[in-house]
A and B are shown apart, each in its own frame.
Chain A
Amino acid sequence: MNDSDIILKVEGLSKAFGDKPVLQDATFTQRRGTLKVLVGPSGGGKSTLLQCINYLIPPDRGRVWLDGHQINPKSRRELSDYRQQVGMIFQDFNLFDHLNALENVRIALVKVKGMDKREATARATQELARVGLGDKADLYPAQLSGGQKQRVSIARALAMDPKVLLLDEPTSALDPELIGEVLTVIKDLAQAGMTMIMATHQISFSAPLADEFLFMEQGRIVEHGSPAELLGRDCCSRTQAFCAKLSELAGDTGA
């Protein structure tokens, strides 16, 4: 494996709230254009890991490299540069309520990247079209459905030209009939070669796209491997047992 192929490297990330460890020694490397899927029970540390990667939750220990460059989170300038290159999609969208769809996508281009307003508007329009919301640019978050909100938030992240996209259960807050439209966008991104780390319970959706599954429990990555290895019929991994239970609950036999 070529070293320059590695876009993101995470080493020994740990976080405790009080004396309760919520993330312990998370270590992995990720190659360009791959999709890693984080699975595991709620409270297992998936969300904490994602937020420690871009320092939204400052980890107690551990280091992160993007494109071979170690991030120094103490430098505001550097942290901002780094975060611009790492997009984040949240479970509950977190759109800015006072801005319409276009302004939501545009604001960081103008205020953070210092892009000219006209240029930023063109870029934002283009990103909204890419997630199928070209006709919703004028609508405010309160006027959009959950699925549309999540697609705006994806457009907002993509407009920054991120090298890596972190997705924290992007469909968990959605009604079942709205999940499909968001998954379609994510699938297109995966096929277009976007590097992504996604926490999700959508096993049957992500298994065919994922390069690697990381199973997290009690703050630790307890298993990792390709979906085929971990989810094989005769495999007795924790991942397999957990996913089987999820499928059973969902009445889904596709996994």
Chain B
Amino acid sequence: MDDTWSFVTTQVIPGLNLGFWATVQLAVPSALFGLFAGIVVGVLRVYGPRPVQRLANGYVSLFRGTPLVVQLFCWYFGLPQICLFIEGLPSVMAVLNVLHLAWMPRLLVLSPMGSAILGFAMCSGAYHSEYVRGGLLSIRIGQIKAAQALGMSPWQTVRHVVLPQAVRRALPGCGNEIVYLIKYSSLASVVTVNELTGMARGIAKSTWRNTEVFFTVGLYYLLLVTLATFILGWVEDRLALPGFERRRE
């Protein structure tokens, strides 16, 4: 037992602390960008012009329909392939050179962290948009008519009347997605980001002590999720409206 304790404190925890920060650096921007993407896409799916609705629906089908690992591979390994392809086209490069834009294809080569955040945000956004869509559809048509009767444009109506209420209703679902995101951030290790799970796997491999390592890493995720739940609950309370308070009993 003493041996286990000293193993965990001296070898596991210092390594996992590094991974912990990597996970935080991954999850926080992914959650924020994902939520933003979800709100934009959700609004477009409900109120956008027909072709834009189709496009947004296509995005959701694609990102909900394919495994996240595959998506991460595409961002990390697939985009540089496209970069090489473009750089292999003399005519295109000639044009870019003239425009002093020859550096542009290189933008497709993302760092491990960058591609993971992009991948998580895009995938998360697809799920968020579904919660946001549900929230938007739950707003009574009467309020929309009242806003229009006051002279609001469709965009003003969405921005000032529908969205503030829809986001509140979508929040519990979006919180669920953020909690889920924290855990699927472990997939970033497949594109070489040394986040919690990546670090844990490394430690386990070199010490052969899987049980202690993965049990400890489980506690780290539990801590992160508890923290996120607390923050989400606080946000929900801050945004609560009289008559629509959540009941905790």
Contacts and interface: CB of A to CB of B under 8 A. Distances in A.
Contacts of B151: 80-81, 83-84, 108, 112, 160
A107 B160 contact: yes
Nearest to B154: A76
Contacts of B148: 56, 83
A169 to B, nearest CB: 13
A142 B242 contact: yes
Interface string A137-158: 0011111000000000100110
B103 to A, nearest CB: 42
A251 B178 CA distance: 60
A82 B164 CA distance: 26
Contacts of A94: 140, 142-143, 145-146
A98 B163 CA distance: 10
A97 B150 contact: no
A96 B161 contact: yes
Describe B's contact surface by its main secondary structure.
helix
Interface in A62-118: 76, 80-81, 83-84, 86-88, 90, 92, 94-98, 107-108, 111-112
Contacts of A98: 164-165, 168, 241
Contact of A90 (B145, B156, B161): B145
Contacts of A97: 143, 165, 241, 243-244
B243 A143 contact: yes
Interface residues of A, number: 31
Interface string B156-193: 10001100110010000000000000000000000000
Given A80-B151, A88-B149, A111 B160 contact: yes
Contacts of B142: 90, 92, 94
B149 A76 contact: no
Nearest to A142: B243
B150 A90 contact: no
B25 to A, nearest CB: 34
A113 to B, nearest CB: 8
Contact of B242 (A87, A90, A140): A140
Nearest to B142: A94
A83 B243 contact: no
B155 to A, nearest CB: 10
Interface of B: 140, 142-143, 145-153, 156, 160-161, 164-165, 168, 241-244
11 contacts: A54-B149, A56-B145, A56-B148, A96-B161, A96-B165, A97-B165, A112-B151, A140-B241, A141-B243, A143-B243, A160-B150
